[in-house]
Amino acid sequence: MTVPGTTAQQPTESTADALLRPHAEDAFADELTALALADDRQRPVGWRLSPWAVATYLLGGTLPDGTVITPKYVGPRRIVEVAVTTLATDRALLLLGVPGTAKTWVSEHLAAAVSGDSTLLVQGTAGTPEEAIRYGWNYARLLAHGPSRDALVPSPVMRAMSDGMTARVEELTRIPADVQDSLITILSEKTLPVPELGQEVQAVRGFNLIATANDRDRGVNDLSSALRRRFNTVVLPLPATPEAEVGIVSRRVDQLGRALDLPGGPEGIDEIRRVVTVFRELRDGVTTDGRTKLKSPSGALSTAEAISVVTNGLALAAHFGDGVLRPGDVAAGILGAVVRDPAADRVIWQEYVETVVRERDGWKDFYRACREVSA
């Protein structure tokens, strides 16, 4: 019986299937389990997998039993090996790079593979307080009973130290400098003092920390030399070739499309190549053939933004088109990604459209779409 004014409850998917974006350890649980079963190499204390298996999880491969491990990161193998090896030492890991180089993505998957939990996360902002890294207090208990362990609210970093897990700090350079430096004692002494209780929390073996930082944006807080020495820095580059970037965008768009029930297929690969080509040329300041120099806009035009443009185009094609990704579906997204400064960037974009897009063979439909959205 349905209560008046309500609708009958419909059968729902399982909670995991209904999530828009499951955590890495849940989305790739089968792969992590298969790797754990096949992994006969030495594992550092507290690790779910050996360093070899962690690298295989990120870079992809085929296990002896035929299980295919999908690549989570496409880039130089040595970069991943250095990052994984760093986590097996007493030094923390700093993933550095321009926006859109998969720093957060790599950080999440490293934590999932090493500790089986990627959720011990501190999101860095200009307003991140010291309590987010150290600990806070339950003020009701604090006022009622005074300082005690029951009144203490551990931060994700404190919990990682106590449990021998991997903590993550996103956008470290956006955190105020005095708050950043609260990590120095944690990373050097592997201890977190709680002076209010006359106690300390010591890190259990298996604890380490992964931080990410953007080296392009201005107005961020540079790390002190004391804090930077506590990290081993790994720079994540932009994709080296157009083919690699097209592969990354296609794979990620396919994953997002399936999560959002959007259509996709080989029909859209030409538009993905166009988006990647436009972004790379404007980013590099020269056309692919090297003949024409270009002005670069103020935006980063990263791989992550290319993924966003194509995903939005798929949504337009699905809901307002025939389900096939076409030039008109991506043109507006490209315009929004390129023109961040309405004055300077719009001139750069219009010049690119008229001098490059207009003259390129096979791009007439894309040229018309760009003209329409720019009008």
Q: Return the bridge partners of 31, or none.
A: none
Domain extents in the chain: 22-233, 242-374
What pLDDT is stored for residue 216 in this prediction?
Answer: 67
The residue-averaged pLDDT of 244-255 equals: 89
Q: Is this structure's pTM higher than 0.85? A: yes
Rounded to an integer, what distance in angstroms lies between the CA atom of residue 337 and that of residue 309?
Answer: 8
Question: What gap in Å lies between CA 49 and CA 57, rounded to an integer?
Answer: 10
Question: Can you read off the two tokens belonging to residue 30?
Answer: 């089968």
Please enumerate in sequence order all residues whose Cβ is within 8 A of that of 350, keeping only pairs 6 or more positions apart, or say none: 374
Contact call for residues 329 and 128 (beta carbons, < 8 A): no
Give the residue, 300 or 245, on which the prediction is more confident: 245
Query: Per residue in 56-71, pLDDT tens?
Result: 999 999 999 999 999 9
pLDDT, tens digit, 9 for 90 and up, residues 196-234: 999 999 999 999 999 999 876 655 788 899 999 999 999
pLDDT at residue 265 above 90?
Answer: no
Tokens 């185009």: give the residue. 313
Q: Is the dihedral of CA 104, 90, 189, 222 positive or negative?
A: negative
**In what helix (H) or strand (E) does residue 277 lie, and over which residues does it extend?**
helix 269-284
Structure letter (DSSP) for residue 174:
G
Alpha carbons within 13 angstroms on the beta-carbon side of residue 248 total 26
pLDDT at 6: 46
pLDDT classification of 1: cutoffs 50, 70, 90: very low
The predicted-structure confidence for 177-186, as pLDDT tens digits, reads as follows 999 999 999 9
pLDDT tops 60 at residue 14 = no
pLDDT, residue 220, reads 72
Q: Which of 59, 60, 53, 58 is nearest to 38 (CA)?
A: 53
| pLDDT on residue 16 | 55
Across the chain, mean pLDDT equals: 90
CATH of domain 22-233: 3.40.50.300
